[in-house]
Structure 1
Amino acid sequence: MQTAYRTDAGLVRLINEDRAAVRDEWNGFTLAIVADGMGGHQAGEIASTMAIELVETEMRAVGIDMTLEERKEAVRRAIALANDQVYEFASKQARYQGMGTTVVTALATSRDVVIGHIGDSRAYLVSRGTIRQLTEDHSLVNELVKSGQITPEEANVHPLRNVVTRALGTDKQVEVDIVHCDWQCGDILLLCSDGLSGDIEEREMLGIISDDRELSWKVDRLIGRALEEGGGDNITVVLLANDEQAEGRGTNKAERRDGA
């Protein structure tokens, strides 16, 4: 499997509260995580960092011999336990109370992917010239769209489009959504924070990801387009390509935190 990822502070925010991790050869899997933190006093940065580290720690127990249901439960449990610990940490320190983070986690083999998520960071599958959003945003505007109060086009420019209705660490208990999908050689999985999905339309994402150039170029181009659209939020992009025969297999990482 080929992997590449990058996180960028964007052009407006001084602190990058996004975090990402990609781990190849994770007990027979590839593990990828994106977290988009929220909260003052650098609390968002702390929340997203803790979420990544805690999910990774809990996912060390996964094994390639696990059934699908066991893998789903492993992902759900890892995120739920991370929620418990972030919430407990925040509740003991007044300046961190209410801090939280989105999280989207993918546990992938060459056959299928199990995804767990909370919040509005997303997972997309690019397959055979199409792009499909695998996760459903836990956000206010998504609730308004589902109830018919606004259109999807209005949601993209709504002043409350960044308000999430569910996050990791903000409540003692939280529901974790679990998604399973099959994928084939040549397919690409995209994980991203809303700094990308809020500014770039799906058809443009598809065009970039479908390009024949290397995976790291695609990550850089996606980040670059979000910056060209104003870079108003932190931007994180992770790509996993289901192509075990490709040369240059491995992880390419780039990160920018300065906001410049």
Structure 2
Amino acid sequence: MRILSCSETGLVRKNNEDAYLILQDRGLLAVADGMGGHLAGEVAARMALAQLAKSAAELDTLERDTLGDWLQRSLTEANRVVYASSLASPERRGMGTTLTALLILRQEVLIGHVGDSRAYLWRGGELIALTDDHSLVGELLRLGQISPEEAEKHPKRNMIMRAVGAAEEIEIDLRKVETQARDVFFLCTDGFSDVVKAEEVRDELGAERSWEGHLEALRRLVLERGAPDNFTLLCCVLD
């Protein structure tokens, strides 16, 4: 398993409220995109990932069939920690973060997801979405009330409906994917997915280039288009 990453502030924002976690020895990857004023988004993203890393210490002691429960519990605990911190400081009130995590096992991957950071699977020349955006526009798309073209320009396209730390209780999407040789899992925050279409990612990943080359080409594409937001990419290439 090889893991490649990049995380950049972009060309407009002053600080990077994205964060990512790589615990390769435990097969745990995650991206987070914080929100909130006074740098609170940056705090929320890093706090959530720190709690997830802390919870990962339990992985060595758990049976395989309990790992889905562990992922659910760990994201719930991250929510509790971020929410408690938001109540303790007026400057952090209302902060939150997206969080999309992968737990990579021998023959399957578990996905825990809150918000609009995305997970994709590249397999056999196809790019497969593994998460749904927990956003207003994502919900309108699922209901068929707007078209994909309208979604790209919707004035509220960045309105998140679920975030870690935004409320005392949280709903987490969990999914299991059986793996195949040479699968590639791709995580990104919305600073990437709002600028580069899934079809463009598919075309790039299908080109004759190293995985390092793919990631660099995608990074440069975001920058060429103005990089209006922080953006983070994680790429996990299975053997």
Question: Which residue of structure 2 lines up, in the alignment, with residue 249 of structure 1?
Answer: none
Structure 1 position 103 matched with structure 2 position 103: no
User: How far off is 1:209 after superposition?
Assistant: 2.4
**1:145 alignment partner, one of 134, 138, 141:** 141
What is the CA RMSD across the aligned residues, in angstroms? Answer: 1.3
Q: Which moved more, 1:37-46 or 1:203-212?
A: 203-212
Structure 1 position 232 matched with structure 2 position 196: no
After superposition, the C-alpha distances for 1:63-121 in whole angstroms (9 at most, x for unaligned) are 386234x1111111111001001100110111110000000000002421101010000
Instruction: Give the Cα–Cα distance (whole angstroms) in 1 for the partners of residues 103 and 213 of structure 2.
Output: 23
After superposition, the C-alpha distances for 1:15-64 in whole angstroms (9 at most, x for unaligned) are 110001211111xxx11010000000000000001011101111221138
Question: Which residue of structure 1 lines up, in the alignment, with residue 12 of structure 2?
Answer: 12
The secondary structure found in structure 2 opposite 1:63 is helix
Q: How does 1:1-260 map to 2 (within 5 A)?
A: 1-26=1-26, 30-63=27-60, 66-68=63-65, 70-243=66-239
Instruction: Give the Cα–Cα distance (whole angstroms) in 2 for the partners of residues 196 and 92 of structure 1.
Output: 32
After superposition, the C-alpha distances for 1:162-210 in whole angstroms (9 at most, x for unaligned) are 1100000010010111011012111100011011111111121112223
User: How far off is 1:216 after superposition?
Assistant: 2.4
Q: Which moved more, 1:149-158 or 1:39-48?
A: 149-158
Q: Which moved more, 1:100-109 or 1:224-233?
A: 224-233
The secondary structure found in structure 1 opposite 2:153 is coil
More helix by share: 2
Instruction: Give the Cα–Cα distance (whole angstroms) in 2 for the partners of residues 110 and 234 of structure 1.
Output: 32
Residues 10 and 235 in structure 1, CA contact (< 8 A), matched pair in contact too:
yes
- TM, length-normalised to structure 1: 0.88
Report the AA paired with residue 131 of structure 1. L
The number of residue pairs the alignment matches comes to 239
**Structure 2: 5+ residue stretches without partners:** none
The secondary structure found in structure 2 opposite 1:72 is helix
Report the AA paired with residue 123 of structure 2. S
Instruction: Give the Cα–Cα distance (whole angstroms) in 2 for the partners of residues 218 and 211 of structure 1.
Output: 8
Higher RCO (C-alpha under 8 Å, 6+ residues apart): 1
Q: Which moved more, 1:200-209 or 1:95-104?
A: 200-209
